[in-house]
Amino acid sequence: MDKEDIQLILLALSTVGTFAIVYFNLPNQAILLPSIPPLAQQIGGGIIVSLIAALLLKGGFIIYDRTTNSSNDSELTENRDLVSDIPLAKSFLFLSHEHPRIVIEYLNKVHQEAVNQAVNCEELIELVAKGSSSKSPELTYELRKTLYVGLCQSYLPRMEEFNLIKYDQSRRVVVPNKKVRHVFRHLEVFRDSFADRLDATSNKDISMVFAALRNPKRRYVLHYFRIMKCKEMGLDNLSSQIAAWENDCSTDSLTPSQRRRIYTALSEHQLDELDHIGFVDFKKESKLVEITYRGEVASEYIRLFEGEKHFPLED
């Protein structure tokens, strides 16, 4: 039962209740105008009192809504503050692949349990080998080598570059810091509140969503639909605004080459990617872009951590 149902029930109860109180308690005589029958005056009085009760009830819900919205705004602000120094492009680099997602989640757990606790790379390799399969695969030499190259020579150095961990390659140990929590927070919020709505619960689907959202131009598209509160817009309008955001200027200040560069990028690649994952419907012949329900949900998700104050977005 949602708020609207509760509101209707309470309104009905207040109307019936106040009407009954007036009808059964007012004296059987004219109380306002002698020319009007007492019963009519009682019914009229009941209606008036019911309307007053309804207005008071409505006022209560307005106050409730404002309090709730204020609480939600505080929560969004808290989320933004939590990850303000971790751009989504960097975070989604790791979240768009299953193996580093497993590592991020585990390192966050380690950091929560004990600060400056070291983790051996071999432990991470075994964790990924088990976590990426429904079965427990035999950790052969070839599999170990593949995982070592992917994790220890690629993702872990990138995590250190973004200051998520301290990585001693000579000793092959990793020490996570609090910024790992920031990246994990992106994944945690997605799983808890958005994965089901986006029908992205499998590892493959989660990887596809984060891969699509990693590109700033695609996020600009979703942001612009949310800001404009529209369902459909032309490619010219869309590309001009994104070019302005990328170049940190107004649309009137754009050069023809700046407009053309973004127009080409959107029409030849970025919108196709968003269309493929179901975030927009890109109508190439008419040059119109329509946002879908999944696109609106994805826009709602990235808004938790990124807004206009972060434009131009980091690639």
186-206, pLDDT tens digit by residue?
999 999 999 999 999 999 999
Q: Is residue 287 part of a domain?
A: yes
Same domain, 303 and 250: yes
Mean pLDDT of the chain, nearest integer: 83
Q: Long-range contacts made by residues 19-28, C-beta under 8 angstroms, separation at least 24?
A: 19/43, 19/46, 19/47, 19/49, 19/50, 20/46, 21/46, 21/49, 22/46, 22/49
Instruction: Check residue 2 and give its pLDDT.
Output: 43
Q: Is residue 15 part of a domain?
A: yes
Are the C-beta atoms of 304 and 80 separated by less than 8 Å?
yes
Residues of the chain with pLDDT > 90, as a percent, come to 65
Tokens standing for residue 8: 């209707």
The whole-angstrom separation of Cα 237 and Cα 239 is 6
Same domain, 72 and 94: no
Same domain, 159 and 223: no
Same domain, 70 and 126: no
Tokens standing for residue 155: 């993702």
Last residue of some domain: 156, 175, 190?
190
Residue span of the structural domain in which 262 resides: 215-310
Tokens standing for residue 279: 């975030």
Last residue of some domain: 43, 66, 82?
82
Instruction: Check residue 70 and give its pLDDT.
Output: 39
Per the listing, tokens 């299953």 go with 98
Same domain, 219 and 306: yes
Instruction: Check residue 33 and give its pLDDT.
Output: 52
Same domain, 254 and 272: yes
**Structural domains counted in the chain:** 3
The per-residue pLDDT for range 79-91, each reduced to its tens digit, is 444 445 789 999 9
The whole-angstrom separation of Cα 226 and Cα 221 is 9
Instruction: Check residue 39 and give its pLDDT.
Output: 60
The whole-angstrom separation of Cα 3 and Cα 61 is 9
Q: Is residue 315 part of a domain?
A: no
Same domain, 256 and 300: yes
- For 132, residues 6+ apart whose C-beta sits below 8 A from its C-beta are 98, 99, 102, 203
**Which H/E stretch holds residue 189?**
helix 179-193
**Which H/E stretch holds residue 14?**
helix 3-25
Same domain, 33 and 68: yes
Q: Is residue 206 part of a domain?
A: no
Which regions of the chain are under pLDDT 50? 1-4, 26-32, 60-83
* DSSP structure class, residue 177: -
Q: Is residue 114 part of a domain?
A: yes
